[in-house]
Amino acid sequence: MDNTLLHNQNVIILFFGSISSLIVLIIATLLAIEIIFNWDFNKTDKRQHRLEKNSWLISTIIGFIASIKVILLPYFVFTIDTLSNIVPGAMCGAGVISYNDYGMKLLFIKIVELALIAFWLLLNRYDIKSLYRWIKPKMFLLILIFAISTIQLWFEYHFFEAIDIHKVVNCCSTLYGLLEGMNPLPWGLDRNLLLILFFLLYALILSTYLAKQEYLFTVAVILFSIIAYYSVLYFFAPYIYEQPNHNCPFCMMQKEYHYVGYAVWSLYFIGIFLGIWSIFAQKVLKIDSQISKRYSVTILGIFILLLVGYVLLYYYNNHTFLQEIKSTGMIMDM
């Protein structure tokens, strides 16, 4: 009997999306290589006109790939969550993705790939406005995206191919639960300090945006990305689940929690991405990046409001906040 998940319909759809986007990406990469070697904007000969047309074709291809990848990333998360129903021991996507070494790396590569594609599209926008000033870096970036897409497909195959539906995996409480005496937070932080840092860093993002302090803004965004990740897992997630010892990043994407995880993580990644993009736009492209910063600040603000909303909702319903986990692992209200 075939124990792998390669024949699962969701997995087939994922492969279909990845392979079809890789095929068109091969075409774009070949065109990009020709542009790198032969581009001369001052020329008006047939080849230069053809290269200019090809550069627009590449933009269209990347736009097409972006629209596929933007669907495939949440679909991948949805798929691993769905697979938790047939993989023994898994309660959500966390168990499935941690089945082998490929899973988390694959998710990371998928996020990086999508971020690079978004980066390419933004760079393309400014390249067009500046009459191809960034054409060659853009084409090199395209080759990097091609390489990452290829690696992504390789990881995707090995991840799903290795999953044996008869082998028991760990559930998310084992993977993300707080064990006695163990502190999962970085730099020895406790939950209170984590929460204070979370709000302070957002205040720093907001104030550096208003004061137009580019470098401080970027530092604040990068630090916030780390602190916010842990804050979601170890402070806000329990309020979403209404269980103090439930810290899974995947369960919140399930129907029981109104798929709120998709909103939480989308706001998180888009807000961080725009924050980092803005410093690149300001310092490298030499363009005013206040608009991307404004979007970043706004999106991260919505991210915080959404999370705080769950805390307030819990308080409204229960007239108490969740208490820190006791060493026994018991759930208690304050």
Piece in contact with other proteins (CB under 8 A), picked from 39-47, 160-168, 276-284, 310-318: 39-47
Piece in contact with other proteins (CB under 8 A), picked from 127-135, 143-151, 206-214, 249-257: 127-135
38 binds other proteins (CB under 8 A): no
Task: Report how far residue 92's alpha carbon sits from residue 82's, in angstroms, rounded to the nearest whole number.
Answer: 8
Strand residues in the chain grouped as ranges (E): none
What amino acid is encoded at 16 in this protein?
F
Specify the residue, 53 or 258, whose C-beta has the smaller distance to other proteins. 53
Specify the residue, 128 or 223, whose C-beta has the smaller distance to other proteins. 128
Q: Does residue 237 contact residue 249 with C-beta atoms inside 8 Å?
A: yes
Q: Does residue 239 contact residue 224 with C-beta atoms inside 8 Å?
A: no
Q: What is the DSSP letter of 232?
A: I
49 binds other proteins (CB under 8 A): yes
Helix and strand totals (H; E) in the chain? 11, 0
Give me the residue label for tokens 């705080």: 308
Report the residue count for the chain.
334
Q: Hey, what are 165's tokens?
A: 């539906």
What binding mask, one character per residue, do residues 186-225 give for other proteins by CB under 8 A, x or -?
A: ----------------------------------------
Task: Report how far residue 63's alpha carbon sits from residue 122's, in angstroms, rounded to the nearest whole number.
Answer: 11
45 binds other proteins (CB under 8 A): yes
2 binds other proteins (CB under 8 A): no
46 binds other proteins (CB under 8 A): yes
41 binds other proteins (CB under 8 A): yes
Task: Report how far residue 209's alpha carbon sits from residue 293's, in angstroms, rounded to the nearest whole number.
Answer: 7
Specify the residue, 121 or 128, whose C-beta has the smaller distance to other proteins. 128
Piece in contact with other proteins (CB under 8 A), picked from 110-118, 126-134, 166-174, 210-218: 126-134
52 binds other proteins (CB under 8 A): yes
Q: Does residue 163 contact residue 99 with C-beta atoms inside 8 Å?
A: yes
167 binds other proteins (CB under 8 A): no
Piece in contact with other proteins (CB under 8 A), picked from 129-137, 141-149, 150-158, 168-176: 129-137
Residues 6+ apart with CB under 8 A from 84: 90, 91, 92, 93, 95, 96
C-alpha dihedral sign at 300, 303, 307, 308: positive
128 binds other proteins (CB under 8 A): yes
Size of the site for other proteins (CB under 8 A): 13
Task: Report how far residue 162's alpha carbon sits from residue 305's, in angstroms, rounded to the nearest whole number.
Answer: 40
63 binds other proteins (CB under 8 A): no
9 binds other proteins (CB under 8 A): no
CB of 142 to other proteins, least distance (A): 16
Candidates 4, 88, 129, 184: give the one binding other proteins (CB under 8 A).
129
Which residues in this chain contact other proteins in the complex, by CB under 8 A?
Answer: 41, 44-46, 49, 52-53, 55-56, 128-129, 131-132
